[in-house]
Chains A and B, each alone.
Chain A
Amino acid sequence: MGMNSETKLRKFHAARWDEQLVFEQSVPGERGIMVPQPEADLASLPGQKAAGAMKRKKAPNLPEINQMKVNRHYMRLSQEASCAVDLTLNISEGTCTMKYSPKIQEHMATNPMINEVHPMQHPDTMQGILEIYHKAGECLKAISGLDYFSFQPGGGSQAIYTAGSIMRAYQRANGHPEKDEVITTSFSHPVDSATPSANGFKVITLMPDAEGYPDLAALKEAVSERTAGLFITNPEDTGLFNQRIKEYVKVIRDVGGLCFYDQANANGMLGITRAKEAGFDMCHFNLHKSFSAPHGSYGPASGAVGCKEFLKPFMPVPQVGFDGDKYTLDYDCPQSIGMVRSFLGNTAVVMKAYMWIMQLGPAGLKAAAIGAVLNNNYMESLLKKTKGISIKYGEDKRRLEQIRYSWDVLMEETGIGTDEVNYRVQDFGIPDYWTAHPPYLIPEPMTLEPADSYNKEDIDEYVAVLREAAREAYEEPELYKKQPPFNAVTHRPQWPMVEKEADNACTWRLYQKNMEKRMVKK
């Protein structure tokens, strides 16, 4: 019953509600909710009249909609969103580690015992939050081998940015204002280039060598007395572990630089290999990736940033302390970079990560890492045999948690490439996949990451869809001429993105100004 168990292809069709924009549903006078009113005794007070000249003259043009319809509207929008981990096989978003977020975490996170706590109330009245921070920090210390973690950054990019701020403060404190360059690699996440740049560093990017690793010879050429540090991912987006990572660290160390290990791709390495042994001074983990907290449609996230003891004075304030009896928040850190995120960071995300670690323990974390790598290698073994796909670099090498595949053969042989396949797969109920961050060093890219949550049958289904899409490209290319997807929520857009310099329709008023006239009416 249900999905054909031989072909493993679903007769999928996404929900389509043909839902109007919220502004188009407004009925004057309708109310979505009633709000508390001032008590009778307060009637003599001026209330909003006190605003005087600052009083709003014209009410905001927000819709007026009754509550059932508001609820229904957003329910329908949620039905028209079919990429969530809760709903489908999100093996698609490689580099993002889309794993299952255990529901018990969300139930705890919406409990008033965390959800109705103020971040500035006295630390004595929120020992529970601080205990979670302290204990989660102890866990990440063990996992990385580093000495201190801050959970203030509200995402992976912000964590890497924080590492750049720490690097800047450290080099300045040590009398090295001339150190104004950082080095990163082209297969590291773009944010390893962008955040040091936002910190004011000049950025040097190493291209891959013939084996797909960042060019070590080029690194030796690039370093100088101006080198402040290195930002490098391992494994990079190829999924290949950089075996010579310690040599890269040494090259940087020899010129007085600091080394930051971008551990966004840590999912296959928990309990297997650590930042400390590779020689790094700092690292970060994405708690919303490797540690199971949900991605929330692109945040709230949490980037835990870790360092060795000698960098702790530069870490953001407040720092969580523990004297064996009581947890404290310490602001007295004169060398600290200050703050990067309000209050304590995304507390609930930290709690969810802590819960995940505490449900797995040392053996479970290792089992999860192995599960992720096993899944990835199993999937590779199947996709290797799929006509149209090739895998660049690292022949005979094992990959860790993800692989950047290439549809170059398919493109060459059929004229159908990764963008077309990416639309077609949606017809079978799997989300569009991540191609690659620009530039496309691997042609016709497709980056897949079958995280530890997926089982063999999930992977088999996913592979079956890719094989079917490739088969059609060879045998029924006319199908692609009709421009799939056919069964997804909408047809493909006329243009995939709006460039910054073009007129946009990012708001209702800009839609009316720039786009309405360009929409063809049915």
Chain B
Amino acid sequence: MAPKKTHEQFVSPYVPSTAKVSKEAMMKEIGIKDDMELYRDIPDDLIYKEDLDIPAPYVDEFSIQQHMTSILKKNANATDYAYFLGAGCARHHTPAVCDEMTGRGEFLTAYFGATTDDRGKWQAIWEYQAQMAELLDTDFCGFPQYDGPWSLSHAILIATRITGKRKVLVPASASPMNMKIVDNYTDGVTERQAELVEVAYDKKTGLLDLKDLEKKLDNKTAAVVIENPNFFGMIETQGEQIGKMAKKAGAEFIVYADPISLGVLEAPANYGANMAAGDLHSLGGHLAAGGHQAGFLGLPDDKKYLSQFKDLAVSIAPTIEDGEYSFVWYNFEEGSYGAREEANEFTGSACNLWAIHSAVYLTIMGPKGMEEVGNTIMARAQYAAAELAKLPGVKVPFAGPFFKEFVVDFTGTGKTVAEINRALVDKKIIGGLDLSCDFPELGQSALWCVTECNTQAEIDMLVAALEAVLA
């Protein structure tokens, strides 16, 4: 710890005016003798005269590094734990080139910039938009939203504005966290902006219960939302039928998709989705303790939808030089920077670095890489589910194809998920998400996740560990 200093004595490599010579020269130019004269227009009763009650600093770089390491080493992490936890933030491999690019100061420490001087950055972001649209097989994609549920919320409000209706059908199986975010976002002051009505799931398949959908779907419905794969990991094989039912009732069909599945699973637009939302995380994002989430929204080239879009995008446009192109903002004036409260919802700094990350990911993977990774994930998840189901008292309750996650019911083991997961931590395994609070009807169930990062050997190790824990 450094001895206590006043602000006049403090020297920092980050604050060059702490060098006396410069400071004095600038003060001379301004015509002040004491630096607090800079604040003469702040009323005295608003000037805080004490020292801030924060700890003494670690001024040198080595000390702050040590301090942070001593804190961070309290975190279990994927270098020495096996992870089987997803729920919107599954472990996937990050190609080194992705990290290389997001670590570039030119991207990392930039902000807005014009096309004339920041063109390369805008091209990278345009290439995100363009490749994402290809992955979604849709026409339009703009800057990412804060995260997947935020994109879904935006899609829902687009649907309410397009249809002039407020009822929105959402799956009862949807991610509880996502629904918390959607619920607040679609609230209002005098009335809700959207009324969320849950559609039951089929107890055998975990998929949407079409009878319940039929019952709840009417001409007051603005949108039908599904997740595919759904929160239980199941592939919603009834997607096309649900879309047809929604459209027949005059409702929009919104699909919440997992982008890493789209090398092997059909793009939502191709089974009738008007809008496709989701989170970019699975495109090689680090777990990052939740800091690598970013939302996407794919829309058709139709003014009906585009006029309701809230965020910015970049569009190719020609420059004054023949044959040269640049990237210019789309939806700036009409968005909340220009139109303030008249805009659709609002926009702001969200996740463009992760857009660049996703752009690099999609380029480096290509169509073949996307297909292969989807296949590997499915094969390993199938293997894990089959092996786990062999354990005494353990069931995999839902029948049907799944992508990378699946529900495992431990009720028959006589142990709670919490107990099992606690025991697994001691064996350096992070187990599946406990569903017993949010889905009590599933008993002591957990949502397990297997990706291309979980090898067969790791799965075998897990099964052995679970066998011991359950014994």
Contact = CB atoms under 8 A, between A and B. Distances in A.
Interface in B309-355: 309, 313-326, 328-334, 336-343, 345-355
A93 B120 contact: no
A359 interface: yes
A397 interface: yes
Contacts of A87: 105-106, 109
Sort A-B residue pairs by CB-CB distance and give the 7 closest, nearest first. Answer: A157-B348, A80-B120, A343-B290, A86-B105, A361-B57, A119-B290, A200-B188
A271 to B, nearest CB: 5
B103 interface: yes
A453 B18 CA distance: 10
Given A100-B14, A360-B10, 5 more contacts: A60-B367, A113-B69, A342-B290, A370-B17, A491-B320
Contacts of A297: 107-108, 110-111, 121, 125, 352-353, 355-356
B401 to A, nearest CB: 4
Contacts of B354: 299-300
A79 B119 CA distance: 9
B29 to A, nearest CB: 5
Which of B113, B314, B318: most chain A Cβ within 10 A? Answer: B113
A299 B93 CA distance: 22
Contacts of A496: 328-329
Contacts of A467: none
A481 interface: no
8 contacts: A82-B106, A93-B112, A126-B76, A348-B289, A361-B59, A367-B18, A378-B29, A432-B113
B47 interface: yes
B190 A177 contact: yes
A173 interface: no
B303 interface: yes
A377 B341 CA distance: 33
B375 interface: yes
Contact of A62 (B356, B362, B383): B362
A402 B320 CA distance: 33
A125 B64 CA distance: 23
Interface in B25-50: 25-27, 29-31, 35, 37-43, 45-48
A351 to B, nearest CB: 7
Nearest to A455: B16
A38 B15 contact: no
B19 to A, nearest CB: 8
A120 B187 CA distance: 26
Nearest to B83: A118
Contacts of A193: 336, 340-341
Interface stretch (A3-11, A42-50, A217-225, A305-313): A42-50
Interface stretch (A409-417, A471-479, A513-521): A513-521
Interface string A454-472: 1110000000000000000
A341 B380 CA distance: 30
B287 A118 contact: yes
A335 interface: no
Interface stretch (B160-168, B177-185, B408-416, B462-470): B177-185
Interface stretch (B214-222, B244-252, B264-272, B390-398): B264-272
A128 B120 contact: no
A129 to B, nearest CB: 5
B16 A453 contact: yes
A63 interface: yes
B181 to A, nearest CB: 5
B374 interface: yes
A125 B76 contact: yes
B42 A272 contact: yes
Interface in A321-361: 337-349, 351, 355-361
B72 interface: yes
A347 to B, nearest CB: 4
B79 to A, nearest CB: 5
A199 interface: yes
Contacts of B74: 126-128, 131
Contact of B323 (A128, A168, A522): A522
Contacts of B334: 499-500
A432 B116 CA distance: 9
B16 to A, nearest CB: 4
A37 B376 contact: yes
Contacts of B131: 22, 62-63, 508
A93 B433 CA distance: 43
Contact of A56 (B17, B262, B324, B453): B262
A366 interface: yes
B369 A35 contact: yes
Contacts of A426: 114, 116-117
B439 interface: no
B404 to A, nearest CB: 12
B111 A367 contact: no
A56 B266 contact: yes
Contacts of A106: 103, 108
Given A96-B111, A374-B23, A508-B133, A272 B56 contact: no
Interface string B171-210: 0000001101101110111110100000000000000000
Interface in B104-140: 104-121, 123-127, 129-131, 133-135, 137, 139-140
A175 interface: no
B389 interface: no
Contacts of A131: 71, 74
B352 A519 contact: no
Contacts of B425: 122, 124-125
B421 interface: yes
Contacts of A191: 336, 346, 348
Contact of A373 (B39, B180, B337): B39
A213 to B, nearest CB: 11
Contact of A489 (B45, B116, B422): B116
B143 interface: yes
B442 interface: no
Interface in B403-462: 421-422, 425, 430, 433, 452-453, 455-456
B369 A505 contact: no
A32 B365 contact: yes
A64 B364 CA distance: 8
Contacts of A50: 235, 378, 382, 401
Contacts of B332: 497
A246 B44 CA distance: 13
B188 A274 contact: no
A297 B53 CA distance: 33
A292 B314 CA distance: 27
A483 B340 CA distance: 31
A121 to B, nearest CB: 5
A51 B401 contact: yes
B279 interface: yes
Interface string A84-111: 1111001001001011111010111011
A19 B326 CA distance: 11
Contact of A397 (B41, B45, B101, B314): B41
A388 interface: no
A364 B12 contact: yes
A156 B22 contact: no
B330 A506 contact: yes
B48 A271 contact: yes
A133 B399 CA distance: 41
